[in-house]
Structure 1
């Protein structure tokens, strides 16, 4: 395995309508992934079958429905490559995403992980060039050294109706360990907006997860200071 080999973890739950395009965006990378792990989180649709049709570097791990955080953790624990990236099953990578991040990590050995900017687009729309652009700390935007992933540990579910905030919590725990994360200024991913998805709108119950992330961080700081 080469020193810049990377694996991709894709947690997926009932993602049959979008998973094929997500996987194809990884397969179209200018630097190929050594392993693509689709963690089927107890889907009741054709999610697992769609992923299994690819074969080759695409592997399917099946588990009972436990949420995106648990599915991500299972995927990360099955990575042997020196780098690992993530992708939400309804999002898309642009072709040079992995190459750009691996180049930056190769020239910045002090950096433990990289994120990127993403552009939003509405599901079903052919317009993918004019949506809002923002920095992103989601699975879709990340590329980390696997050693950093091991140091942080499992991805935890912060609660809330849609489990928002699990990656924010995970990244924050890494920062508290002294890990260094950076964000490339380039748009390297597309974030699909679907009603009812993690990316869609505002929901007071769903967004409670962000408050839990902040509370947990403060509690860890207090524990360290005592």
Structure 2
């Protein structure tokens, strides 16, 4: 099996990035490359990364959103497989190994996701916690050509919903996306993160994603076969 690279978009993640990166380098199948894209952070995240003395490439950009940061990181990779991870989430040690094994068994599969479970920032993970399908950046592993076909991850208004939009576009293109039953990813819950709680301004992104999906469906119905 060929190698893989990891992309981590990060914004003001100084308190979590070390643990996240350690979960990456602790994988039973080691990555060929790890890229962290600093999306305009104002904290000391870069110093934290440098102090870890890990083989990590740090890219920097103005704050334009996690989709833009993920897209930039993927563009900097040349590996045939790509895994992505948010800067406050964690992988369990066999996550990548099991995804690569699934790709070997099912060559027609374009992307593999995993179940995940939540843990709170100030408390250890509870293995008995409820697990759910993680259709998200933190669980995703794809073939490189899939990203080239689907295109960039676009940040909607408010900063939420970009992965829902990208996954929907991949499915509309007829690509096969599979979900592993095991919970191999841990989702950190902490106040202030993009995924924490309900927020009317941030949730505008979901409405925009739904609007774009309806537009695509309408175009597909009117285009000649």
On whether the aligned pair clears a TM of 0.5, the verdict is yes
Question: TM-score under structure 1 normalisation?
Answer: 0.94
1:56 Cα offset (Å):
5.5
Question: TM-score under structure 2 normalisation?
Answer: 0.94
Distance of 2:168 and 2:126 partners within structure 1: 30
Task: Give the conservation status (yes or no) of the 8 Å contact 1:4–1:102.
Answer: no
Task: Give the conservation status (yes or no) of the 8 Å contact 1:34–1:57.
Answer: no
Aligned to 1:59: 57
Classify the secondary structure of the residue corresponding to 2:2.
Answer: coil
Task: Give the conservation status (yes or no) of the 8 Å contact 1:165–1:210.
Answer: yes
Aligned residues: 222
Output aligned runs, 1:30-109, within 5 Å.
Answer: 30-54=28-52, 57-109=55-107
Q: Which runs of 5+ in 1 are unaligned?
A: none
1:48 Cα offset (Å):
1.8
Distance of 1:130 and 1:205 partners within structure 2: 34
Q: What RMSD in Å do the two structures reach over aligned CA positions? A: 1.3
Q: Which runs of 5+ in 2 are unaligned?
A: none
Output aligned runs, 1:77-226, within 5 Å.
Answer: 77-160=75-158, 163-226=159-222
Classify the secondary structure of the residue corresponding to 1:57.
Answer: coil
Quick check: 42-51 or 107-116, which moved more? 42-51
Distance of 1:65 and 1:198 partners within structure 2: 14
1:213 Cα offset (Å):
1.1
Classify the secondary structure of the residue corresponding to 1:99.
Answer: helix
1:129 Cα offset (Å):
2.2
1:206 Cα offset (Å):
1.8
Distance of 1:53 and 1:7 partners within structure 2: 21
Distance of 1:73 and 1:55 partners within structure 2: 25
